[in-house]
Chain A
């Protein structure tokens, strides 16, 4: 008497649970990447990295001051309203400044000097205006005094 079972004609692996599982993981990772809002960069450099062996090119430097109330001053002239975060007037002036510096073949440089109580958003507004005017050399006036 033969007791051995006949081999199945089709011995297939069940794919359905695997696909279910993979879909679930896919949806999870897709959703979790969308939840993380992507952060963007605004970079600046601190002065002090100039190699003294090189010929020193004196850059065309302008100072932008930001007061506590958010007023922005360039060469003692006020630009844009404190609530205006796009700063069209400042951008226009900075583009002119960059073009003048380029015509004179010197690097255009901006130093931002915010007062102590200025909010970061206002500082970033000014940095944003510098980026809009394509000025790459931006630095901050940070005294070495312990306040």
Chain B
């Protein structure tokens, strides 16, 4: 008596759940990539602060980049007169006040995110803080990394 079951005509793997899963991951990473796109000037080497908190809400932030004087950026180099970088453009102090005040007019809850290079001197940062105060912004944030080696980059 033959008890062996007959061979299945087509033994294919069902791909549908895998494709569902992959699509979900794809959409997640696409959205994550779009959300993390802020005005990140690559010249800025942020300082390390292990106790800093990774923010959950990145909305309503105006980004000001500050690099050490003489760093090439925005088609020139930063100088005493134009030490700030906004959206890749070199800006002087009155320009910074105007840019922040203009943005604050449309976004009253604006917070200013200062991405300051770890080797930048405080006198430039001081001017940026003063400009924020003149533009009516009192809520400021310094950008930092939690550690030297986490993630990619040098």
Residues of A bordering B, CB below 8 Å? 15, 18-19, 22-23, 25-26, 29-30, 32-49, 66, 85-86, 114-121, 123-125, 127-128, 131-132, 140, 142, 144, 147
From the candidates B50, B130, B140, name the one contacting A44 in the complex (CB within 8 A).
B140
Contact A116 B121 (CB under 8 A): yes
Interface string of B37-73 (1 = CB under 8 A from A): 0001000001111111111000000000010000000
Contact A33 B52 (CB under 8 A): no
Contact B138 A48 (CB under 8 A): yes
Q: A134 CB to closest chain B CB, in angstroms?
A: 10
Q: How many residues of B contact A (CB 8 A)?
A: 54
> A interface, by DSSP: helix, strand, loop or mixed?
mixed
Specify which chain B residues have a CB less than 8 angstroms from the CB of A49 in the assembled complex.
Answer: 138
Q: Is B77 an interface residue (CB 8 A)?
A: no
From the candidates A25, A33, A117, A124, name the one contacting B49 in the complex (CB within 8 A).
A124
From the candidates A40, A48, A116, A118, name the one contacting B146 in the complex (CB within 8 A).
A40
Specify which chain B residues have a CB less than 8 angstroms from the CB of A116 in the assembled complex.
Answer: 121-123, 126
> B interface, by DSSP: helix, strand, loop or mixed?
mixed
Q: B96 CB to closest chain A CB, in angstroms?
A: 14
Specify which chain B residues have a CB less than 8 angstroms from the CB of A30 in the assembled complex.
Answer: 25, 29
Specify which chain A residues have a CB less than 8 angstroms from the CB of B143 in the assembled complex.
Answer: 39-41
A128 closest partner in B (C-beta): B49
A124 closest partner in B (C-beta): B47
A147 to B122, CA, bound (A): 12
From the candidates A46, A121, A127, name the one contacting B119 in the complex (CB within 8 A).
A121
Specify which chain B residues have a CB less than 8 angstroms from the CB of A42 in the assembled complex.
Answer: 49, 51-53, 141-142, 144
From the candidates A39, A46, A119, A142, name the one contacting B46 in the complex (CB within 8 A).
A39
Q: Is B110 an interface residue (CB 8 A)?
A: no
Contact A117 B29 (CB under 8 A): no
Q: Is B105 an interface residue (CB 8 A)?
A: no
Interface centre among B40, B51, B117, B140 (most CB of A within 10 A): B51
Specify which chain B residues have a CB less than 8 angstroms from the CB of A147 in the assembled complex.
Answer: 123, 126
